[in-house]
């Protein structure tokens, strides 16, 4: 887990689909980081998925499904991408503008749910990201490289902080 302890109010908790609650899955990670930028700026970078490969080293080939253009993620957005060498199909399952977003992620050997919360704090915001996974691929990677997903999310958060300190992302 990244810096800082966090109290837990209903607004600061992940809303898990029953199947993906942390106590039910074989693989779960939680990371958080305070980012000294407004939630609006952090949110803009997070939902502008086509730009992820320009600043997050584990995101590649982010695109819409069936050749459709992908813009900012919103409720119901479907997208394809690659992460950690696995081709993934994702669909945004939870979306509350500027506050919370979560998507399913399905690929060979993995069935996951990845959620993000942005909580205003002082002159910035605290970002919490958690992911729960099933699948033989998830189990094998977690056994062989137990910190891989946590380290990847830590990198994602730190990269998000760097970009957010620069201001709003460019238009697509």
C-alpha to C-alpha distance for 39 and 111, rounded to whole angstroms: 29
What whole-number distance in Å separates Cα of residue 29 and Cα of residue 58? 16
Q: Assess contact for 142 and 167: CB atoms under 8 A.
A: no
In order along its 172 residues, the chain shows pLDDT tens digits of 444 334 445 567 899 999 999 999 999 999 999 999 999 999 999 999 999 999 999 999 999 999 899 999 999 999 999 998 999 999 999 999 999 999 999 999 999 999 999 999 999 999 999 999 999 998 898 899 889 999 999 999 999 999 999 999 999 9
Question: Is residue 140 a contact partner of residue 38, using CB atoms and an 8 Å limit?
Answer: no
pTM over 0.85: yes
How far from chain centre, in Å, is Cα 37? 18
Q: In the chain, what are the domains?
A: 25-165 (3.30.530.20)
């Amino acid at each position: 887990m990244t810096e800082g302890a966090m109290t837990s109010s209903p607004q600061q908790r992940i809303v898990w689909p029953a199947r993906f609650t942390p106590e039910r899955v074989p693989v779960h990670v939680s990371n958080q980081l305070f980012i000294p930028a407004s939630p609006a700026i952090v949110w803009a970078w997070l939902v502008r998925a086509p730009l992820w490969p320009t600043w997050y080293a584990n995101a590649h080939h982010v695109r819409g499904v069936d050749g459709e253009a992908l813009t900012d993620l919103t409720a119901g957005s479907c997208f394809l991408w690659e992460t950690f060498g696995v081709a993934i199909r994702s669909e945004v399952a939870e979306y509350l503008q500027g506050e919370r977003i979560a998507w399913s992620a399905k690929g060979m050997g993995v069935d996951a749910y990845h959620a993000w919360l942005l909580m205003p704090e002082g002159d910035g915001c605290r970002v919490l990201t958690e992911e729960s996974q099933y699948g033989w691929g998830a189990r094998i990677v977690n056994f062989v490289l137990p910190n891989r997903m946590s380290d990847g999310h830590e990198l994602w958060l730190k990269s998000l902080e760097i970009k957010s300190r620069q201001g709003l992302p460019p238009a697509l």
